[in-house]
Structure 1
């Protein structure tokens, strides 16, 4: 038999309002939808037979009707057969968009909290799935009874945790091993994908195809699984959408806010090409000479041509502590007391206190120098 090509995705969270982005949240919401559109175009271009969407596809609490209509329109143009399960963010309910009757004919939504089977006889494949019907799913879907046809390629799509102690469909490695599936497509964990195997069953999380925070950095991807009667292979397909990036930049040699800004632009433009539309967390590091002042609000204003940027100050004030602690000044008294606390904590080998005092020392120095805390 020919190879079956499967595209596995999850955790798009289409319609999510990303509060920390402020006014930029609406742009990111549109970019996530565009990322899904691009993903479906890639499915057609690569002759994908089956698309598995493993939950949290929609953000049910905030998604607007117009977005739901666009999702249906995109799926209608897909050549593959599409299978969707609901997760904890888009669980099945009376008001769920998944209960609408106008989903395209090529889309099957699993609507029950027990495992069901759909036969694809033309592909010699059976697809199994189950959906969340509330925020939590304390019992494992894999405890459901379902019948396996050993002559078929059996694949499953689920949302949840591959641990035995979870409120979100606790599966556990032993349950995956006993599932008798060829491949289990998982959603819920946003980390980048990695193919696992236990017994005769391959399994993987898809990760998040489009980043939604600074915990989901860089280019993202979906999974492509190719299966025939004897072999299973996995690869990633990158979704080239605007991304979240975190950059640490040493500004020790800079003497002004403008110089720091110029260095930031120089580095990110060289590294990211069309850098303006990305989302950045810029962490400034290094030792700053006493008397040099960076206005981080000004730096963020200068970077206003970027879609989103947050500048985080992790610089340290470069001081001659032995000299300063002898000064008859507020700074001198503060430095002397904090150094004594740090030295005492080190002597007693209390590492937690050392870290706390060192951080308090640095923040106090910044406040005394007029830095933003």
Structure 2
């Protein structure tokens, strides 16, 4: 009975710019340090778990931003687990181009870069063969899986792939190395270590062998929820019967949360602040508030006289959370029944809008009409409209 243990991660994106956090706050550089710490944590897990293999399925670092010191840091971490074979495939953010560090750096002896002329490594002592489909450029629209042929069918066979699986191939947005799960399953692999999409996907296609761990550290507000790596083991007997055991280990240091906060009924900024604070406390995702990055959208109806200053509100949370961005999508609390009865232009405008709303069943159209009603009343009352 052959058995190996592995750690599978992907999409680390070391040295990502984090431009959305602003250049003058220091938060972007702190998030880059977070990525390094999370990577170090992953290597510690590999050491503690005594993993035979570490599988890194693309986008380990950012080619356009990463310097040699980061590569040295990565390599030092690899040297700390000499018992483990490190397998890396280049992704679309760290492709195997002419000036790639994958080509031009003296990696530790336990590191294998699978790309170009080196798509396969046989480990006879572990009776394991590892294959890789890496990126040779920043975009690769056709997966080269037909070039993969099993050289050791009686060994444990693993494939690393960075790309899109089971997507609508007629839509070319975000399609990198597009391939179907059934086609992958037909290769005869015992495990397929996927990367590229930052959300975790277990057992893609239901074939019992394709897994995508997502990004170990969340990178943006579209990456909420848990983030981590897989710890897995594969055993295979002499008849070729395979047993795959998988578990997920959370590694994310920070977390992102998108929150809608209804401030209807609030007549002071202090009460708005209290609503936001309560929402933050309810969205900690098992972390501390200081680890959270929050995108808050204020909704509902603002009482007359309440002026919402998003910058001032944000400053109230600067020592409470890691990062917060507040967007004001509230509308003034207006009595439209009373306005429709007015004899002047405001009343006529309101009646016309409500007549059009009654004639349409399209919810999106109704929302646009309601928004235009608020803007129209604001323009009539103040002579101007402020639109974010």
> TM-score scaled to structure 1, two decimals?
0.89
Find 1:100's aligned residue among 84, 98, 104: 104
SS at match of 2:209: strand
CA contact (8 A) 1:117 1:127 kept: yes
| Counterpart in the other structure of 1:304 | 318
CA distance in 2, matches of 1:226, 1:360: 59
| Aligned-pair CA distance for 1:215 | 0.4
Distance 1:329 1:105 in 2: 82
Moved more, 294-303 or 162-171: 162-171
Q: CA deviation at 1:153?
A: 0.7
Check the 8 A contact 1:14/1:59 in 2, yes or no. yes
In structure 2, C-alpha distance between the alignment counterparts of 1:174 and 1:232, rounded to whole Å? 18
Q: In structure 2, how many angstroms separate the alpha carbons of the residues matched to 1:109 and 1:294? A: 53
Q: CA deviation at 1:307?
A: 2.4
Given the superposition, is the C-alpha separation of residues 94 and 51 from structure 1 closer, same or farther in structure 2, using an over 3 Å criterion?
same
Deviations 1:198-237 (A, max 9, x none): 55x6101121111110000133111122211131122110
Match of 2:50 in 1: 47
1:277 counterpart (288, 291, 298): 291
Q: Distance in 2 between matches of 1:69 and 1:115?
A: 22
Residue 68 of structure 2 is aligned with which of 65, 69, 83?
65
After superposition, the Cα gap between the structure-2 partners of 1:329 and 1:71, relative to the gap in structure 1 and judged at 3 Å, is farther
**Partners in 1 of 2:2 and 2:146 — Cα distance?**
32
Task: Name the counterpart of 1:7.
Answer: 7
Deviates more, 1:255-264 or 1:55-64: 255-264
Name which of structure 1's ranges 99-108 and 329-338 shifts more when overlaid on structure 2.
329-338
Residue pair 2:218, 2:252 contacting (<8 A) in 1 also: no
Distance across 1 between alignment mates of 2:79 and 2:164: 30
Asked whether the 8 Å contact 1:115–1:145 carries over to 2, the reply is: no
Report the equivalent of 1:268: 280
Residue 250 (structure 1) aligned with residue 254 (structure 2): no
Listed one character per residue, the Cα deviations across residues 285-340 of structure 1 (whole Å, up to 9, x for unaligned) are: 33333443322222112222232111122334332212123346675555344323
Task: Provide the C-alpha distance between the structure 2 equivalents of 1:44 and 1:187, rounded to a whole number of angstroms.
Answer: 22
CA distance in structure 2 between the aligned counterparts of 1:54 and 1:217, rounded to whole angstroms: 21
Partner Cα separation in structure 1 for residue 255 and residue 261 of structure 2: 19
Query: Does the aligned pair in 2 maintain the 1:288–1:318 contact within 8 Å?
Result: yes
1:315 matched to 2:330? The reply is yes
Contact 1:115–1:130, Cα closer than 8 Å, also in 2: no
Say which is worse superposed, 306-315 or 232-241, in terms of deviation: 306-315
Distance 1:31 1:74 in 2: 15
Shift of the 254–372 alpha-carbon distance from structure 1 to 2, 3 Å rule, reads: farther
Offset of residue 87 of structure 1: 1.0
Query: 2:95 is matched with which residue?
Result: 91
Confirm whether residue 217 of structure 1 aligns to residue 217 of structure 2.
no
Q: Which runs of 4+ in 1 moved over 4 A?
A: 328-334, 362-372
Instruction: Give the aligned partner of residue 343 of structure 1.
Output: 358
Aligned to 2:367: 355
Secondary structure at 2:182's aligned position in 1? Answer: helix
Conserved? CA contact 2:7–2:55, under 8 Å = yes
Distance 2:378 2:212 in 1: 43
Contact 1:148–1:154 (8 Å) recurs in 2: no
Is the contact between residue 82 and residue 108 of structure 1 (CA under 8 Å) also seen in structure 2? yes
Alpha-carbon contact 2:182-2:205 (below 8 Å) kept? no
Count the aligned residue pairs: 368
Q: Output the CA distance in 2 between the equivalents of 1:364 and 1:5.
A: 65
1:5–1:197 distance in 2 versus 1, CA, 3 Å: farther
Query: In structure 2, what is the equivalent of residue 188 of structure 1?
Result: 196
2:86 paired with 1:82: yes
1:294 paired residue among 305, 308, 313: 308
Query: Does 1:116 pair with 2:128?
Result: no
Which sections of structure 2, spanning at least 5 residues, go unmatched? 237-241
Equivalent position to 2:163, from 148, 160, 163: 160
CA shift in 2, pair 1:335/1:27, >3 Å: farther
Q: Does 1:237 align with 2:237?
A: no
